[in-house]
Structure 1
Amino acid sequence: MSSRTALITGATGFVGGHLVRRLAQAGWKVRALVRATSDTRALEQAGAERFIGDLDSVDVLAHAADGADTVFHLAALTIAKGEAPFIRANVTGTRNVVRGVLTAQHRPRRLVYLSSYAACGPARSGRPRTHGETPEPLTAYGRTKLQGEAAVHEAEQAGVQTVILRAPPVYGPGDRALLPYFRLVKRRLAPAPAGPELRTHMVYVEDLAAALARAADAPPGTYAVAEPVEHRWSAVVGAMADSLGTKPVRVPLPPAAVRAAGTVAGWFGGLGVFNKEKAEEMLAPAWLCDLTGLDALLPPGTATPLADGVRRTAQWYLEHGWV
């Protein structure tokens, strides 16, 4: 059993919760940066040590990082009204994590940062976007996650090993981002933008947690992490329908209607996880990235197939009364 120590930001979130459990089960000593108002029952069950603060609390971050082997920075803002909140959370917050790492009395060996496909932008001409291409994020979220990556590189320049993981849509037990669509499919509705069908990578949350854990020892660098299969949106919907026992009706939405709905949602600070910029992401024809190096984080044959992951997700939703 390992006796290594990890500090996790975003430990009470969707991905963070899965990573906490995985590391604790592997014998890591887990520390978590949490707000005073956070629900920490799952952290208590995992035996995690809690440090009260937020991404503005550089002194707390430095104290929590002191002597840790690896810092996993997962905390991020994904939906907000306007760009300023994204900058504060995803750029300034990440810089503060870097400052905490660099000013810790016993500096951590490694910093692992969870980024997003949104940072590099959608596929170009229908082909996966390579690591060497200039990123073209569409949204404030994507732009600020890319700036967060730049902040992480500052830690690298100061001698800390760094690994950046760019994730596509993440789904699994406890996910709230795709939950509204599961609910629509349960009601036999499958709205989607009219025109070319979306093609995308996906990643099951347990696979992403496993990849993050392996990032503590993988060669430093930037990786796109996903099930190495390109999925059409109709296949995703079909997997949802099969898992819920329904036959939804496809409802094509004109792009103008998708944008209008996003604009209205944005007036209210984003309804659920939808706003004007999310609408633009939905209208992009493909979200595919270069998976070179994936084997270091998700060895061949270990990624959860879409049908299995969606079935497990739907079962969890049903058991917990979410759908």
Structure 2
Amino acid sequence: MNKTVALTGATGFIGHVLVARLVTSGWKIRALARKIPSDRVFSEVEWIPGELSCDSALSALVSGAEAVIHCAGAIRGESQDAFFHTNVVGTKNLLQAASGSSSCSRFLYISSLAAREPHLSWYARSKFEAEQLIPEFSGRLATAIFRPAAVYGPGDKAMQPFFQAMRYGVLPVPGNSSNRFGMVHVDDMVAAVHAWLEAKQPVKGTYELDDGTPGGYDYVSIAAIAEQVLGRPVYCFSIPLGAIHTVARFNLWLAHLLNYPPILTPGKVKEFQHPDWTCDISLLEKELAGWSPVTKLQTALPLLLKS
């Protein structure tokens, strides 16, 4: 290996932690970004200005790199086309650039567990369709797909409202309180990516990823963990589904009117309502020798609730 990796999504929640991990382990990072950040964590990064739609930027990104880690993606949008353009077309553009490079031999796509249920939302559909592109390039590249469950940790904004609410003794439940889902701490997620990158033999295939808790979590179990941490009751508060759907539809209408990408849409509500987002990580643990998640929610929650 030449210890150079091309990275998209470096300035995002997962990417930020991944950069720090790779730098400390001796990897040279070349990252794509619309705007070069000033954060000191990124001082060791070679930045390539551009987007996933810019062929010249993608060529510069992958030139001389041994591997590509594709973390970038749209997680909010006002239409199917908005997700398709970034998550599908952008992924295809990057795959084409990587397969055309004489140096690249490995490609890791950070997808989502939502791709398992593409009928639920525009986001889920776009992730699924992006995954379908991967086999087209597997003859030239050793390709892998990671489907993480809910990734959380310091700096995460998506789950922050839930943690903040629990500090006040309430856990909002946007669906059935018995729905089950996996969770994975960002450090364990990044450790899996690092293990994939360091593997002597390429790890190929599609893998689900969470913290290995049998059967995952539900809202009741999370409230119980929070009670132990805080030393006081934490109650599950079920948000009426009719109200959620109404707010989601209004938010989507407003997004079209004001031209902003919404996070809460009718499709996202369907994702919340899905009864099973649990994972089986046994195959990934087998393929990534030496990797296994070490942080359970019980361990991480004290810092998240008291910070």
TM-score by length of structure 2 reads 0.89
Q: Which residue does the alignment assign to 1:314?
A: 305
Letter in 2 for 1:276: P
- In 2, the alpha carbon distance for the partners of 1:291 and 1:44 equals 31
- In 2, the alpha carbon distance for the partners of 1:300 and 1:17 equals 20
Q: Which residue does the alignment assign to 2:294?
A: 303
Match of 1:274 among 247, 260, 264: 264
Letter in 2 for 1:233: Y
Gap runs ≥5 in structure 1: 122-135, 319-323
Q: Which residue does the alignment assign to 2:225?
A: 239
Match of 1:215 among 196, 210, 215: 196
Q: Which residue does the alignment assign to 1:112?
A: 108
- In 2, the alpha carbon distance for the partners of 1:171 and 1:199 equals 16
Letter in 2 for 1:98: L
Over residues 46-74 of structure 1, what are the superposed CA-to-partner deviations in whole Å (9 max), with x where a residue is unaligned?
x1111101111121111111111110000
Q: What is the root-mean-square deviation in Å for CA atoms of aligned residues? A: 2.3
CA contact (8 A) 1:7 1:71 kept: yes
- In 2, the alpha carbon distance for the partners of 1:298 and 1:183 equals 36
Q: Which residue does the alignment assign to 1:132?
A: none
Summarize the alignment of residues 255-270 of structure 1 with structure 2, pairs less than 5 Å apart.
255-269=241-255
Q: Which residue does the alignment assign to 1:154?
A: 136
CA contact (8 A) 2:84 2:126 kept: yes
Match of 2:273 among 283, 294, 297: 283
Deviation at residue 272 of structure 1 after TM alignment: 7.0
Kindly tell me: are residues 12 and 195 of structure 1, through their superposed partners in 2, closer, same or farther at Cα, counting changes over 3 Å?
Answer: closer
- In 1, the alpha carbon distance for the partners of 2:133 and 2:11 equals 23
- In 2, the alpha carbon distance for the partners of 1:288 and 1:54 equals 33
Q: Which residue does the alignment assign to 1:252?
A: 238
Letter in 2 for 1:66: S
- In 1, the alpha carbon distance for the partners of 2:291 and 2:14 equals 22
Answer yes or no: is 1:64 the counterpart of 2:50.
Answer: no
Match of 2:125 among 122, 130, 143: 143
- In 1, the alpha carbon distance for the partners of 2:291 and 2:108 equals 22
Q: Which residue does the alignment assign to 2:12?
A: 13
Q: Which residue does the alignment assign to 2:42?
A: 44
- In 2, the alpha carbon distance for the partners of 1:138 and 1:119 equals 9
- In 2, the alpha carbon distance for the partners of 1:224 and 1:116 equals 8
- In 1, the alpha carbon distance for the partners of 2:299 and 2:289 equals 17
Summarize the alignment of residues 78-97 of structure 1 with structure 2, pairs less than 5 Å apart.
78-97=75-94
Count of equivalent residues: 297
Deviation at residue 19 of structure 1 after TM alignment: 0.8
Secondary structure class of the residue paired with 2:26: coil
CA contact (8 A) 1:224 1:294 kept: yes
- In 2, the alpha carbon distance for the partners of 1:285 and 1:155 equals 34
Gap runs ≥5 in structure 2: none
Aligned identity (percent) is 29
Kindly tell me: are residues 271 and 162 of structure 1, through their superposed partners in 2, closer, same or farther at Cα, counting changes over 3 Å?
Answer: closer
- In 2, the alpha carbon distance for the partners of 1:98 and 1:227 equals 29
Over residues 73-105 of structure 1, what are the superposed CA-to-partner deviations in whole Å (9 max), with x where a residue is unaligned?
00000111111110011001101111211233x
TM-score by length of structure 1 reads 0.84
Secondary structure class of the residue paired with 1:282: helix
Answer yes or no: is 1:185 the counterpart of 2:131.
Answer: no
- In 2, the alpha carbon distance for the partners of 1:214 and 1:165 equals 12
Over residues 289-313 of structure 1, what are the superposed CA-to-partner deviations in whole Å (9 max), with x where a residue is unaligned?
3334121348475431111122333
- In 2, the alpha carbon distance for the partners of 1:272 and 1:141 equals 12
